[in-house]
Structure 1
């Protein structure tokens, strides 16, 4: 009897597995309205007549290049075709875009995938216009609702190649290329801010949603029900119009709450007294939106997670735990929609490995991305999208936005702005190569680059869309244990002094900046304290209250280190309030900046050769607001804000203080160039190749 029961059990298991396998791998031809679906915690895709598990290895792609803003839609089809090829060759199988792209992108995607056995897929984002939320409008108002529905229809029509969609007046392109065979799903909406969700719950009644394809559970907020209705509309519109169903995803804003186990860390007396919302979650949880049997594809949750997020920061050394805890909290698949690390000389708060080194070079960027990718992979998440493929000159970060002319930010590269440097591909200045590299060669310098010289030394200068380059060449070998090299810059007619007691220097002009090269570890740029933007902002509020206490004078004999805030004051549950983190951004990084060198360091600022020193100075450090139009920051204390003024040149001088004598090379004028459109060339970073090695190793 026992033997008979054992045989029956084995037979039952075999039959069950066979039926399950047939159900999972059924021929797609039986229902050609969809080619992706969710099963439990995994995503499947139809291939060769059966369902195969899809682990999403993705990259975010934007629509910008130097000299353009994302909304300009000026990236060519050839550009996109080349970028898509680079992404594919790196080992990715999916691209994610946040909103409707130019028709050139979809044309390029179709052309790349044509007759390709393993195409690269597309996760299409549908943007919720948050600018109205900033104006205090109800997220569920008819104005925002109509705009969201219009954008849903526009994007669905566009990826299906409908050339007659003119519902949105600012879209005048023909989207006549059908790429729907590559669209695996849509991410609906944005990562909604906590205060916007709180405001929504105050303004709207909590109601469950019960639609054709989606519904919400009892825990759902009013806003989650609203977003479920928008997903229902999208699904119905695509099926009715194009006989296709796609995956749907919502971007959750609750990852920290899930991992930490805290329901609501926000404490607000007004909210606590409001019976409608005091027990409501103040974040968006995709798990509260459910699918019905009519949805053959399914839902998955998306989270954008960076190790520098205030809430995530306490988990920076255990991101594998963070991703695993997040994934285990969901019954639907979880995809990390964005994770990224910038390669930046002011990487600061993104630096995961060192408290002393505040920059992040391309090698560290690559290694950190691999570490994050492995943590996501081991967590059981259904996939991830790296942020992002290419750098974006047009971006500004919170700590630099006030220091530049934002309308001109796309026309020059600001090495001080970390948010420009998340890409795996850099846009370096110059056609084909940069005008100069700080490295072990000075072949790029010629007589025409000399600003001034005497029998002891010569001073050279060049510039481009990212740096002011300087080269000091001596008539003797350099010994930094005995030689101090000072290069002085007079940039603004509004400030500066003709002497520095602390450095024992005298100048012909009113100097604003001093570059001091004295050894490999401690060389730095110093700013005349009257022109010190960091300290001006630091004391601005106090000085506005008591202007009589301002002790800054135009002729003050003080030069200060140059600092930048890399993280504002923050609060996290584990450590409580943490002070802002500042970094001496004027401190120069020694190394070789030539990408073709074996000892390449992308963050390097200066290099010392046998008888020369090469230096490259980011425009932002010396207070340029837009080098393309020669505009710098005005006198802070005269206008009491950051305001631009135009200049024509920089006066540059040099002093050599050696063991036995001090030699002065008097300052001379270096005329600044202007440009309407920047010159640049594309370069795949070290991080690209590091990540490629990881991804192709796994795929092979």
Structure 2
């Protein structure tokens, strides 16, 4: 090529490179632009409050906006939130699913790792239409507040102020956080501030701490800040919150933006009076959003509450809430409460930033209209969540954010936490009796989910590699084969019988032995002689017969609430080893309440959780139920049992509950494995089919290795599609505010 042509070609190439580069820069810059409006002080606004409305600046005007959101946790199975294990790829995949579901807001409780903000910015740059917005939470020093009971202590104020500065820096991509145990760290360079919908400061407030702070600092003057102030009737704690919110505003103003502000609140510290609440503690003190006001914060301020239909107990007992009917014509105390709370907060928007029910076997509280804290299938979870969402919208709220996006194995619940030992291993297994672990719309299922389907078909068992299953050579009349396996959630059994299993004519029992002790005889074992006792007994038959029961002297529930707390009557014979008594597996759902803690006496309430549902775990089957335990077809019986129902406190370390019952806390033993004794009982004669004596100690034992890492499968629950429909049906808030 001639020299002049070479120069011309180089010049053309350079020109093209500049054009392409400029185009790419323009696309990158334009795609990242967010339409906003300037304030009189020069700050940018994308969202603001206006009367009782929440508004977004869009198409060069302010428009009503209803926040349809989902809370996002910071953990994965096998991890605690402070480990921050979620990857950029996880976030990108989840954002697409959340977007598809119809949510427009993601709320996080605390600072996530840098990849969260990078992924959010990247996802919004790539997507068409409106972005996914962020509601950023700022975690208060919760443990210190509860321990010290004084929000004004210098170490608490300083820690909270630093957390505020870190959160604002993280959102705006302008900070490097050093490594600290349980905290996010790294270099934050992605500016997610343009996608922010608001700041959500603090955590649910302990009422004793609030009351004590008010008492200690009752003479403190109402806070008067540059951006937020406390009104003359504000309490000391409300003044403290005003100061912290002003700190958030001060930090954000450095970046030239303003976003609406709120602080976390919940029903326990709401400003309403609840004459029907039985526990004084639950209506002890108020934290009133109306006692704080913006000063020069044009983005505004709104109230937010966590509101569940089953807690506190006044949702069941307060007659002042039993006057309003829902669209189905039912007395609905949740809807009545929403209306009362909304009426109190005049001229300001209000959101419910946590609501929902879990899809779990376990139950922790009872609610009206069956809206219990647990005990629901995934379909029921979705239906209840959709009802609550619709009621929040109907009552004129500015937003509703469902709890929670993904299941969180590490969570604990008051009525199972004493049985999960060691405590620091909760994230290594999924206890379906712990309802708090299963609030997710995205299911985090144990490793055999989708590999073994409980449907009465053994094909999937035959496809398991030998290392994944164990054949137990149990010589029992009527039974050809017994196979066992396990995962992070369940122990699985497959029985191949000699004849077709007919629950109308017979029952299949499976006795389970994990350590010395237990029942060697029982009315369920007519004429049977055992050389070692059973801790639990599984019965499969008709729907009302299928359950797992626990030996009376081994029964965690009776030992805790009977012997330790004296809330249950326990018969003397039930305390003896080999009592011959098996009892239903129960969980407490409300403790005994009596004056002076309560206004009158209320007995302990409990529910049975050992009922075994016959069905299928095939998520594509219309009859699918996530709580399914067993199925039988022809000669095949399949069964899966949650670990805790078999006495396990932590299967990952082979820990089972001990029979020892001295002291205030339970103790555990390390089991060598599981021995099972299957046998058939003729329903008509009530007699065991075949022999009547077994040496349990000679039976083969199912064994496994403990684990430190978990396998799991991620899948949308049935509730996802139900919530998707409900989210898409909601377009805008009920217009009760003033117009611009």
Distance 1:395-1:168 versus aligned 2 partners, 3 A rule: closer
* 2:672 corresponds to which of 648, 669, 677: 648
Within a 5 Å distance, the mapping from 1:630-649 to structure 2 comes to 630-637=654-661, 641-649=665-673
In structure 2, the residue matched to 1:662 is 689
In structure 2, the residue matched to 1:511 is 534
Distance 1:27-1:428 versus aligned 2 partners, 3 A rule: closer
In structure 2, the residue matched to 1:3 is none
TM-score (norm 1): 0.88
> Matched residue of 2:644: which SS?
helix
CA distance in 2 between partners of 1:571 and 1:259 (Å): 23
In structure 2, the residue matched to 1:283 is 286
| Residues 546, 612 of structure 2: 8 Å contact kept | yes
In structure 2, the residue matched to 1:469 is 492
Deviations 1:488-507 (A, max 9, x none): 111113x1243324531333
| Residues 149, 212 of structure 2: 8 Å contact kept | no
CA deviation after TM superposition for structure 1 residue 460, in Å: 2.0
In structure 2, the residue matched to 1:50 is 61
Distance 1:436-1:575 versus aligned 2 partners, 3 A rule: farther
| Residues 461, 471 of structure 1: 8 Å contact kept | yes
In structure 2, the residue matched to 1:443 is 459
CA distance in 1 between partners of 2:372 and 2:62 (Å): 50
CA deviation after TM superposition for structure 1 residue 574, in Å: 12
Within a 5 Å distance, the mapping from 1:95-494 to structure 2 comes to 95-116=106-127, 117-166=129-178, 171-204=184-217, 205-239=219-253, 241-253=254-266, 258=271, 260=273, 282-292=285-295, 294-310=296-312, 311-314=314-317, 315=321, 317-330=332-345, 331-347=347-363, 349-350=365-366, 352-354=368-370, 359-404=375-420, 405-430=422-447, 433-446=449-462, 449-454=470-475, 456-457=478-479, 458-493=481-516
| Residues 321, 379 of structure 1: 8 Å contact kept | no
1:628 pairs with 2:656: no
CA distance in 2 between partners of 1:547 and 1:317 (Å): 37
CA distance in 2 between partners of 1:596 and 1:482 (Å): 31
| Residues 320, 378 of structure 1: 8 Å contact kept | no
CA deviation after TM superposition for structure 1 residue 65, in Å: 0.8
* 1:590 corresponds to which of 608, 614, 630: 614
CA distance in 1 between partners of 2:136 and 2:367 (Å): 30
CA distance in 1 between partners of 2:308 and 2:434 (Å): 17
Bigger Cα displacement from structure 2, 112-121 vs 631-640: 631-640
CA distance in 1 between partners of 2:471 and 2:336 (Å): 57
Deviations 1:488-534 (A, max 9, x none): 111113x1243324531333533211111231222111222221111
1:693 pairs with 2:709: no
> Matched residue of 1:298: which SS?
coil
CA distance in 2 between partners of 1:640 and 1:139 (Å): 32
Distance 1:161-1:469 versus aligned 2 partners, 3 A rule: same
| Residues 301, 348 of structure 2: 8 Å contact kept | yes
CA deviation after TM superposition for structure 1 residue 469, in Å: 1.0
CA deviation after TM superposition for structure 1 residue 124, in Å: 0.4
> Matched residue of 1:554: which SS?
coil
CA distance in 1 between partners of 2:455 and 2:278 (Å): 51
Distance 1:115-1:267 versus aligned 2 partners, 3 A rule: closer
Distance 1:164-1:496 versus aligned 2 partners, 3 A rule: closer
Within a 5 Å distance, the mapping from 1:591-606 to structure 2 comes to 591-606=615-630
CA deviation after TM superposition for structure 1 residue 636, in Å: 2.7
Deviations 1:435-469 (A, max 9, x none): 42321422122396431355731222111110011
CA deviation after TM superposition for structure 1 residue 472, in Å: 2.2
> Matched residue of 1:596: which SS?
coil
CA distance in 2 between partners of 1:26 and 1:133 (Å): 38
| Residues 161, 176 of structure 1: 8 Å contact kept | yes
| Residues 517, 524 of structure 1: 8 Å contact kept | yes
Distance 1:653-1:161 versus aligned 2 partners, 3 A rule: same
CA distance in 1 between partners of 2:202 and 2:37 (Å): 33
Deviations 1:384-405 (A, max 9, x none): 1100001110001001111112
Deviations 1:127-168 (A, max 9, x none): 111111232242111110000100000000111101335597
| Residues 253, 284 of structure 1: 8 Å contact kept | no
> Matched residue of 2:499: which SS?
coil
> Matched residue of 2:533: which SS?
strand
Deviations 1:184-213 (A, max 9, x none): 210111221211111101111242222212
| Residues 407, 441 of structure 2: 8 Å contact kept | yes
CA distance in 2 between partners of 1:63 and 1:134 (Å): 23
Distance 1:630-1:78 versus aligned 2 partners, 3 A rule: same
CA distance in 1 between partners of 2:70 and 2:582 (Å): 45
Distance 1:134-1:672 versus aligned 2 partners, 3 A rule: same
Distance 1:353-1:604 versus aligned 2 partners, 3 A rule: farther
Bigger Cα displacement from structure 2, 569-578 vs 550-559: 569-578
> Matched residue of 2:539: which SS?
strand
Within a 5 Å distance, the mapping from 1:70-81 to structure 2 comes to 70-81=81-92
CA deviation after TM superposition for structure 1 residue 380, in Å: 0.4
| Residues 351, 358 of structure 1: 8 Å contact kept | no
CA deviation after TM superposition for structure 1 residue 557, in Å: 2.5
> Matched residue of 1:57: which SS?
strand
CA distance in 1 between partners of 2:452 and 2:351 (Å): 42
CA distance in 2 between partners of 1:76 and 1:356 (Å): 33
CA deviation after TM superposition for structure 1 residue 638, in Å: 5.7
| Residues 366, 589 of structure 2: 8 Å contact kept | no
CA deviation after TM superposition for structure 1 residue 629, in Å: 1.4
> Matched residue of 1:229: which SS?
helix
Bigger Cα displacement from structure 2, 662-671 vs 625-634: 662-671
CA distance in 1 between partners of 2:306 and 2:557 (Å): 31
Deviations 1:554-610 (A, max 9, x none): 333322222111232458999955433211222222222221212101112222222
Unaligned runs of 5+ in 2: 1-34, 322-330, 733-740
In structure 2, the residue matched to 1:521 is 544
